[in-house]
Chains A and B, each alone.
Chain A
Amino acid sequence: MSATPQDHPSIDALLDYWLHDSDAAATEAIDEHLMQCEPCGRALDELIALGDGVRAAFRSGAVSAMASDAFLQRVVGRGVHVREYRLPHNGSVNCTVAPEDELLVAHLETPLQGVERLDAVVTLSFDPDVQHRLDDVPFDAEAGEVLWLPRFDLIRTAPAHTAEVTLLSVGAGGSHELGRYTFRHRPWPGAS
């Protein structure tokens, strides 16, 4: 028997199913549907492949993200070698990347209470006229810090430079600076 089109779960429903966001009844119904519907099975395969691609991109350092300390603990628990830098409010740090490092994380301490929207602006000393703006970054106001996971693949091969990160609180009345952080990067000695 072929499922009628109206029976087919949506992509969102398949994603909920895959990520354990569906309840028991929905999970059972989709189990049954997938047993008879190859097109939906292939759609799920594509979602799984997309998730694998996201994971691979992150593991290779090809994407940046703003995350949480709990997420970082999960990453470390998976055996990823993480180099962490903790910067106090408006602080600076001398930083590098060791050959065994797989991920770089910056903890930016900042007062987040009452912040509605957070933007970040990154400038690099070797390209001072360009501002890299990150709009509406996710943050947990209770945490009192922002976790920035920059693109590791670029930093690993970058020459000595200074990066400045400015956090901005954005609201109806405009934006104001929350904090400014400076990273003085040097390549690992001997690294090509």
Chain B
Amino acid sequence: MWRDPARRYSNFFRRRLAILGGMQALDTSIDGDGPEARAARRIAAAAPGEARDAEAELYRLLAPRARRFGLRHLRDAHAAADLMQHVMTLTIEQLRSGRLREPERVLSFVLGACRLTVMDQRRVERRREDLLRRYADALPIADLQIAPRLDHQRVADCLERLPERERSVLVMTFFDDQPSDAVGAQLGFSAGNVRVIRHRGIDKLRRCVDSGTRAA
């Protein structure tokens, strides 16, 4: 079986997750008795696969958060969606099997799994696809609200109303998500100056777009 790369990676990942399952690897204070913990306990208490409603609820609550983590750290929508899917699938699998010994700490588990996945993905991009292929069928089905969509014409109209300096800094920032020091170096500004201009611009842009959304 060790000649199968997908299975070899799966076992590698399982060992790392087993550590997380025992909650030895993370020292976080984000867990508690919220809806995530309650859903996790219901999954862990049920026979494997019998708590479909709780699995769907956990997926609805945590999948968007895993996806955001992936977007921030991988900067790629498809990679973030893949991370979301396999972190959630593995979380539910760990709960079903009882390997996540403290279900109420499911938030820490998911955060740790996200971090591990990002680290592993950076090292072994191809292996992630193997894992996803192996577990894709186990995904629960749930309605998932992802990022909002804005009226791009409205954003353009609002951008055009901004002072030249703020509009230019926002365009140079968001064209490919550049930090303030990079934008500053290109305009002869300090990073702090860019952040101030960016702050003013974003604030005006948000208010303008929001007022249009409310008026629509």
Residues of A within 8 A of B (CB): 1-2, 11-12, 15-21, 31-36, 38, 41-42, 44-58, 60, 62-68, 70-71, 74-75, 78, 120, 134-143, 151
Contact = CB atoms under 8 A, between A and B. Distances in A.
Contact of A49 (B147, B167, B168, B179): B147
B165 A45 contact: no
Contacts of B181: 21
Nearest to B196: A12
A44 to B, nearest CB: 6
A140 B187 contact: yes
Given A52-B150, A65-B168, A66-B168, 10 more contacts: A38-B64, A41-B68, A45-B147, A45-B148, A48-B71, A49-B148, A50-B150, A53-B152, A54-B175, A62-B156
26 contacts: A2-B34, A11-B203, A16-B195, A18-B72, A18-B177, A32-B30, A34-B69, A35-B65, A35-B69, A36-B34, A46-B148, A48-B147, A50-B206, A51-B173, A54-B205, A55-B174, A57-B152, A62-B156, A65-B171, A71-B175, A134-B164, A136-B165, A138-B165, A138-B168, A140-B187, A151-B160
A136 B185 contact: no
Interface in B124-180: 146-150, 152-156, 159-160, 163-165, 167-180
B95 interface: no
Contact of A53 (B64, B203, B209): B209
Contacts of B164: 65-66, 120, 134-138
B150 A35 contact: no
Contact of B72 (A17, A56, A142): A17
Given A49-B149, A53-B152, A54-B155, A19 B180 contact: yes
A19 B61 CA distance: 25
A21 B155 contact: no
Contact of A35 (B107, B185, B205): B107
Contact of A21 (B62, B114, B153, B180): B180
A135 B30 CA distance: 47
Nearest to A12: B199
Interface string B97-108: 000000000010
Contacts of A34: 65, 68-69
Contacts of A58: 171, 174-175
A148 to B, nearest CB: 10
Given A34-B65, A55-B175, A58-B171, A15 B198 contact: yes
Contacts of B174: 50-52, 54-55, 58
Contact of B167 (A47, A51, A63): A63
Contacts of B107: 35-36
A57 B152 CA distance: 6
Given A18-B72, A138-B165, A68 B186 contact: yes
Contacts of A56: 152, 155-156
